[in-house]
């Protein structure tokens, strides 16, 4: 699929444009208020950051370190810099967010080369790693030194733990590190019915971008270093990449409220369930179809041009692709805040 952006106008309802349109979970707001008491050491020297580190070690392993950052782009750029030498390149899916939606931040700020691979479902395989490894030792080529996996993918698909393990094994055998872009890692873990560590550190990830903003936080993401032997100087990289917060306790408090409890799973499960409900409802409309069942919080319905026009007259809805039959394929996102009323309103609009 190749994205086609809709024109953004403030009059359109943005409820299904992205999971970024949702607000902040009340529990996260309470955590922010709780952190706003008295004085605390800056730059991660506070008690909340220490508690977040304890959680990360419990979830991802005794060697794990967690570095709060401001946004997903920053997390990805910091994490990949930690894996790559100056001459290194990162293998990714051509559909990956890091390849299409980071505004060239990996290249311009991270000074790295991406090696995008065409994939049918947004997922890399060991064969992709082997194909790119042909450049190893060839002085005229950027050296593939890392693999980055988007979980869940931009196409709403999931890597199973076995698939991540297979890619990680292939990458490690060639001396490459493994990064997981987990902007929607919570949605993936909730869909799989597993823990965050079970689908990352336990199956070969060396470093993780842990997403919070899309799942109920406010400008709160993190880099989790699972294997320090493969990730060097990450503290310094975070600083010169302008991702070190002076009042870090306010970022750490949000992450602890999400991940130190079951709130992350509650929010993600709700978003996933609402996407499934939205998909079922749209698929019942005459002229609409759902080629793939939603597994996370993204829905890609194939609709007639009339349905697409009706939706886009009211909603900010991206036409993501064109189906083999020539019909528009929309991308509709649900969030932790999506209600049944929101779904009913969109479906009624689509039905005319």
Q: For residue 69, what is the domain's CATH number? A: 3.40.640.10
CA 250 to chain centre: 21
Arithmetic mean of pLDDT, 180-205? 98
CB contact at 8 A, 175 and 145: yes
Q: Is 13 within the bounds of a domain? A: no
Res. 10 pLDDT band, cuts 50 70 90: low
Q: Which of 316, 350, 306, 301 is nearest to 1 (CA)?
A: 301
The residues, ordered by sequence, that sit 6+ positions from 118 with a Cβ below 8 Å of its Cβ are 94
Residue 208 within a domain: yes
Contact 36, 29 (CB under 8 A): no
Mean pLDDT of the chain: 95
Let me know if 219 is exposed, middle or buried by CB neighbors in 10 A (0-12, 13-18, 19+).
Answer: middle
CA 22 to CA 213: how far, in whole Å? 9
Q: Does one domain contain both 270 and 224? A: no
Q: 272, 90, 65, 277: which is closest to 179 by C-alpha?
A: 90
| Interval 89-119: pLDDT, tens | 999 999 999 999 999 999 999 999 999 999 9
Residue 4 has pLDDT above 90, yes or no: no
Does 248 fall in a domain?
yes
Print the domain residue range for 239. 39-261
- Within this chain, do residues 92 and 236 fall inside the same structural domain, yes or no? yes
Kindly provide the residue ranges of all beta strands, DSSP E only, lying in 78-195, ordered along the sequence: 88-93, 113-117, 143-150, 177-182
How far the first Cα of the chain sits from its last, in Å, is: 27
The pLDDT, as a whole number, for residue 3 is 52
- Show the CA angle centred on residue 228, arms to residues 223 and 234, nearest 5°: 50
- pLDDT-based confidence at residue 11 (cuts at 50, 70, 90): confident
Q: Please tell me the total count of domains within the chain.
A: 2
How would you label 80-92 residue by residue, b for 16+ Cβ within 10 Å and e otherwise? bbbbbeeebbbbb
pLDDT in tens, 282-327: 999 999 999 999 999 999 999 999 999 999 999 999 899 999 999 9
Q: Which two tokens stand for residue 268?
A: 């993600």
The whole-number average pLDDT for the span 205-230 is 97
- Whether residue 131 is found in the same domain as residue 241: yes
In which band, very low, low, confident or very high, does the pLDDT at 163 lie, cut at 50, 70 and 90?
Answer: very high
pLDDT higher than 80, residue 278: yes
Q: Give the residue ranges of DSSP H helices in 111-210.
A: 126-132, 161-173, 185-192
pLDDT of residue 130: 97
Neighbours of 309 (CB within 10 A): 12
Do residues 226 and 290 both lie within one domain? no
Rg (CA), the chain: 20
The last residue of a domain, from among 218, 236, 261: 261
Compute φ and ψ for 82, nearest 5 degrees: -65, -30
pLDDT category at 1 given cuts 50, 70, 90 is very low
2 within a domain of the structure (yes/no)? no
Query: Are both 91 and 174 inside the same structural domain?
Result: yes
């Amino acid at each position: 699929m190749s994205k086609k952006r809709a024109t953004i106008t403030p009059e359109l309802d943005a409820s299904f444009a992205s999971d970024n349109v949702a607000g902040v979970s009340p529990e996260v707001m309470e955590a922010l208020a709780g952190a706003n008491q008295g004085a605390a050491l800056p730059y991660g020297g506070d008690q909340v950051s220490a508690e977040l580190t304890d959680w990360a070690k419990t979830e991802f392993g005794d060697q794990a370190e967690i570095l709060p950052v401001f946004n997903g782009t920053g997390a990805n750029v910091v994490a990949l810099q930690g894996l790559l030498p100056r001459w290194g390149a990162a293998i990714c899916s051509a559909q990956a967010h890091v390849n299409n939606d980071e505004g060239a931040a990996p290249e311009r700020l991270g000074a790295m080369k991406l090696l995008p691979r065409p994939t049918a479902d947004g997922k890399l395989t060991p064969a992709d790693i082997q194909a790119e490894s042909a450049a190893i030792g060839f002085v005229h080529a950027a050296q593939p030194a890392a693999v980055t996996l988007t979980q869940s993918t931009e196409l709403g698909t999931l890597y199973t733990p076995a698939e991540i393990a297979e890619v990680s094994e292939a990458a490690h055998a060639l001396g490459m590190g493994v990064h997981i872009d987990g902007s929607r890692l919570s949605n993936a873990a909730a869909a799989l019915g597993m823990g965050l560590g079970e689908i990352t550190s336990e199956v070969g990830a060396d470093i993780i971008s842990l997403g919070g903003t899309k799942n109920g936080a406010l400008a709160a993401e993190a880099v989790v270093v699972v294997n320090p032997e493969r990730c060097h100087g990450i503290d310094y990289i975070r600083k010169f990449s302008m991702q070190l917060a002076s009042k870090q306790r306010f970022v750490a408090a949000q992450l602890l409220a999400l991940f130190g409890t079951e709130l992350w799973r509650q929010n993600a499960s709700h978003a996933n369930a609402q996407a499934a409900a939205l998909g079922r409802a749209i698929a019942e409309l005459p002229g609409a179809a759902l080629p793939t069942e939603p597994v996370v919080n993204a829905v890609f319905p194939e609709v007639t041009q009339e349905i697409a026009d009706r939706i886009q007259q009211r909603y900010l809805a991206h036409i993501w692709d064109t189906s083999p039959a020539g019909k528009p394929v929309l991308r509709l996102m649900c969030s932790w805040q999506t209600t049944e009323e929101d779904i009913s309103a969109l479906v009624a609009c689509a039905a005319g």
